[in-house]
Amino acid sequence: MKRQDGDWKPVDGLTWYRKLGNRVCAELDCGSAVSVTGRQTRSGREKDRDSWWIRPDCDEPSLSDCFTSKTRLLSFLELSCSDSVRLVHGSSLCSGRLEVRSNQSRSWSSVCEGHLDLHGAQVVCRELGCGALEFLQGALSGAAEAPVVQTFTCEGHESALLDCGSSGAQTCSSGTAVDLTCTDPDDVRLVRGPSRCKGVVEIKHHGEWRDMGHYSPSDSWTLKAADAICRRVDCGSAVSVVAGPTYDKWFFSPHCLLSTSTLTDCVTTRPLSIGSAPYLTCSDSVRLVHGSSLCSGRLEVRSKQSWSSICEEDLDFNNTQVVCRELGCGAPGLLQGGLYGEGEAPVWTSELHCEGHESAVLDCRRSSSAGKTCSPRTAAGLTCTDRGGVRLVGLENRCAGAVEIHHWEEWYPVADPYGDWDLKSGSAVCQHLDCGSAVSVNRTYHSSFRPAWWISVPCVKLKSGLMDCVGIYGSYNHSFTLDVVCSDLLPQPNISLSDGVFGVYQQGFRLLMGSDFTVTCSVQPQYPGGSFQLISDTEEPLNLTLPAVNHSAHFLLSAAGHAHRGDYTCVYHVDVFNRSFSSSQSPALYLTIGDKVTNMIIRVVLVHFLLIMGTISLFFYCRARGRHFRLKPRNTG
């Protein structure tokens, strides 16, 4: 039941999954979610009642922000939480630092590493609905924050940790809080395809293999979610994911998979038989890891059942062309050693000799380089261009307008039926276009439906590539589309100097002392009006503002002096789209100051006088020396 504005109503159990249920357990201070089920309503009386429905892709800080009211109830949500044990700060509900709560004390406490044996850890995994114990160690997920209540002695068959024997209160020394990792009770595989890395996704849940079903458009499969499955089956990166036919299935939340390493956290309660299963194509022999998208990262190649790094020096343009093509990405862009870390994988002992037309890396000719190692920071990092394109249209500015995505050879707007997009997700669009961050994100209503792409907002917020987050089911007909205005809306202004210039140097201009000069700020015509701000870091800083006339402003400064020496920059300001925008600063204009005109004249006259006097002196000297030589008597011997 959920209360909002004093009104208690049942929560519809449709499309819930354990990771989402865990948020309810946390709000109730009831440990971790163990199971979540949806019990179908039967009679009309059960169905025809007010209820709450939650968006399955909820990532709001408070669950209440994700609920909407309904007038029909399809299933009752039934949730089971562990009351006395939980794992925190782990990668899933089945890993993390162990905390317990005794019957006597309602506060949560850590357990010392030496005070829980393998039998006790097995009991914890069973109580949390996870698989067998995989790892037991201290301090992986942080040091203890609270004293432990007791030491546990289990035999291994108990159903709960508090059923075990216990003795004495202890205190953990720093860094010895016990950390557990339980295996995932579920498994996954790709079937009905030409290879182990291509096919329909099947999941083993409650010991039974079924297709991984999916139905909700608001929680659609994306390449980013599909990539998690590819990694789970030890294939490379996700290349494509499409909707395939299915019959008997376990329903699954792709959104959940983005934030957990355990499949069982994401199996949903949907009891319906409709829906489809994802058909995945993973790269079999190559992948990019630790990048900002599926088309960037450190390059690894799979050979003889293991993954290896490649040295930057062993890759040329033809090789990178084949890698990007195999991954379903665009043309190769940046290739740089150490860009995405050195990695722990060994170095591949073969050198590639691709011609550029091959469809896969392992189709290329190779030569052996036994014992090869990469120099520090030379493990190849590669960035390929994105699969599609992104643009903002309709406002005559590339950094503002309706968001459009180029996908499957079609440019369509992005749908926003639930108002999920906010400034954080909108900023991903702006950053992709090199337009700063989002300052405005709005929905536009259209009286008629139009084709639009759906993008997973939670996927975008994970700073994934935009094209990795496009839903797999093609375009939808929607009446709400997305508009974004970015901060870097205005072009960089120009700055120039006129009047009073005495000399031009590589670093700037020299002005005559006492002269008048004009600094001009201008900008490429785009919006009417606005103003220019002239800023200097001189001895007496300037901060002047003039209205823009014909997209420029002229700042007249008089009596140039040493106080005017320094850098000058312009900033353009204008009000558009009901907001105030400021451009980036113009390139700096450096000014230095020369002498006064009178001083320059005196120096020129003095220099000429000295040159004349020197010439006259040299003339008389030479004349005198010539007379001396003529009067000297001749020696006749």
Residue at which a domain ends, from 149, 166, 182 = 182
Question: Is 487:530 a contact under the CB 8 Å cutoff?
Answer: no
pLDDT tens, 261-302? 889 888 887 655 566 788 999 998 899 998 888 999 999 998
Residues 395, 377 share a domain: no
Could you tell me which residue, 635 or 282, shows the higher pLDDT? 282
355 pLDDT more than 90: yes
Residues 482, 402 share a domain: yes
Q: Which pairing describes strands 350-353 and 365-368: parallel, antiparallel, or unpaired?
A: antiparallel
pLDDT the model gives residue 382: 92
Max mean pLDDT range (65-74, 500-509, 516-525): 516-525
248 pLDDT more than 90: no
Residue with tokens 């406490």: 109
Residues 369, 356 share a domain: yes
Query: Can you tell me the mean pLDDT for 392-420?
Result: 91
pLDDT the model gives residue 424: 92
Task: Let me know if residue 210 belongs to a domain.
Answer: no
pLDDT tens, 446-491? 888 889 998 988 888 887 788 899 987 667 777 889 999 999 999 9
Task: Let me know if residue 228 belongs to a domain.
Answer: no
Query: How does DSSP assign 371-400, residue by residue?
Result: T--PPTT-BEEEEEPPSSEEEEEEEEETTE
Residue at which a domain ends, from 133, 159, 182 = 182
Task: Let me know if residue 550 belongs to a domain.
Answer: yes
Residues 539, 473 share a domain: no
CATH number at residue 77: 3.10.250
496 pLDDT more than 90: yes
Residues 585, 505 share a domain: yes
Give residue 44's pLDDT band: very low, low, confident or very high (50, 70, 90). Answer: confident
425 pLDDT more than 50: yes
166 pLDDT more than 60: yes
Task: Let me know if residue 545 belongs to a domain.
Answer: yes
Max mean pLDDT range (257-261, 385-389, 534-538, 615-619): 534-538
pTM: 0.79
591 pLDDT more than 70: yes
pLDDT tens, 115-141? 888 999 999 999 999 999 998 887 654
Query: Can you tell me the mean pLDDT for 26-52?
Result: 84
What is the share, in percent, of the chain residues with pLDDT greater than 90?
40
Task: Let me know if residue 400 belongs to a domain.
Answer: yes
Question: Is 509:589 a contact under the CB 8 Å cutoff?
Answer: yes
* Residue 344 neighbours by CB distance under 10 Å: 7
What is the share, in percent, of the chain residues with pLDDT greater than 70?
87
Q: Phi first, then psi: give them for residue 624, nearest 5 degrees.
A: -65, -40
**How many domains does the chain contain in total?**
5
Give the Cα separation of 461 and 450 in Å (integer).
26
Residues 304, 371 share a domain: yes
**HSE-CB of 368 using CA atoms within 13 angstroms:** 2
Question: Is 506:257 a contact under the CB 8 Å cutoff?
Answer: no
**In the numeric block, which tokens belong to residue 9?**
């109503």
Residues 444, 420 share a domain: yes
pLDDT the model gives residue 255: 85
Give the Cα separation of 554 and 547 in Å (integer).
10
Q: Residue 470 belongs to what domain range?
A: 389-486
Question: Is 503:510 a contact under the CB 8 Å cutoff?
Answer: yes
Helix (H) or strand (E) holding 78: strand 75-81
Give the Cα separation of 200 and 277 in Å (integer).
7
Residues 159, 110 share a domain: yes
Residues 522, 472 share a domain: no
Residue 590: beta bridge partners? Answer: 567
Q: Where are the alpha helices (DSSP H) in 31-89?
A: 44-47
Query: How does DSSP assign 252-305, residue by residue?
Result: B-HHHHTT-S-GGGSBB----S--BEEEEEE-SSEEEESSSSTTEEEEEEEETT
Positive or negative torsion for Cα 546, 549, 550, 554:
negative
Closest CA to 157 of 182, 126, 134, 111: 126
**In the numeric block, which tokens belong to residue 382?**
């590669």
Residue at which a domain ends, from 423, 455, 486 = 486
Give the Cα separation of 25 and 508 in Å (integer).
66
Distance of alpha carbon 290 from its chain centroid, rounded?
11
pLDDT the model gives residue 464: 76
pLDDT tens, 89-118? 888 999 999 999 876 667 888 888 778 889
* Residue 26 neighbours by CB distance under 10 Å: 16
Question: Is 452:475 a contact under the CB 8 Å cutoff?
Answer: yes
Give the Cα separation of 583 and 572 in Å (integer).
5
- As a whole number, the mean pLDDT across the chain is 84
Query: Can you tell me the mean pLDDT for 4-19?
Result: 79
pLDDT the model gives residue 637: 45
Could you tell me which residue, 250 or 368, shows the higher pLDDT? 250
pLDDT the model gives residue 636: 47
Query: Can you tell me the mean pLDDT for 576-604?
Result: 81
Residues 476, 512 share a domain: no
351 pLDDT more than 50: yes
Amino acid letter for position 83? D
Question: Is 565:538 a contact under the CB 8 Å cutoff?
Answer: yes
540 pLDDT more than 60: yes
Residues 380, 309 share a domain: yes
Task: Let me know if residue 614 belongs to a domain.
Answer: no
Residues 76, 105 share a domain: no
CATH number at residue 121: 3.10.250.10
Closest CA to 19 of 96, 79, 103, 99: 79
CATH number at residue 536: 2.60.40.10
Task: Let me know if residue 204 belongs to a domain.
Answer: no
Give the Cα separation of 131 and 124 in Å (integer).
10
Task: Let me know if residue 616 belongs to a domain.
Answer: no
Query: Can you tell me the mean pLDDT for 23-50?
Result: 85
